Amino acid sequence: MKVIVDQNKCVASGQCVLTAPEVFDQREEDGIVVLLAENPPEGLADDVRQAVALCPAQAIWLEEKEKRE
């Protein structure tokens, strides 16, 4: 999974940070999202998906990698 953020769309609600603090942070000066882990470990996938769903500005999205068998 690859996480992509659009800082120009971010409204600084902080839902992503509350949901997946290992992956997201906020800039001190204005609260805009900062991506800490572009390719988070699989163990955080559910939290990251929840953060995407909760983002009121739809400023976060994912590129899912196909699983190989």
Give whole-number Cα distances, 23 to 2, 7, 14, 46, in Å: 11, 15, 12, 12
Work out the average pLDDT over 15-34.
98
Q: What is the pLDDT of residue 64?
A: 86
pLDDT digits (tens, 9 = 90+) for 45-65: 999 999 999 999 999 999 987
Q: Is residue 33 part of a domain?
A: yes
Host domain of residue 59: 2-63
Q: Is residue 43 part of a domain?
A: yes
Q: Band the pLDDT of 2: cuts 50, 70, 90.
A: very high
- If one counts the domains in the chain, the total is 1
Q: Is residue 68 part of a domain?
A: no
Q: Is residue 36 part of a domain?
A: yes
Q: What is the rounded CA–CA span in Å between residue 35 and residue 13?
A: 15
Q: Is residue 69 part of a domain?
A: no
Q: What is the pLDDT of residue 66?
A: 72
CATH number at residue 47: 3.30.70.20
Q: Is residue 42 part of a domain?
A: yes
pLDDT digits (tens, 9 = 90+) for 29-47: 999 999 999 999 999 999 9
Asked whether the predicted pLDDT for residue 12 surpasses 80, the reply is yes
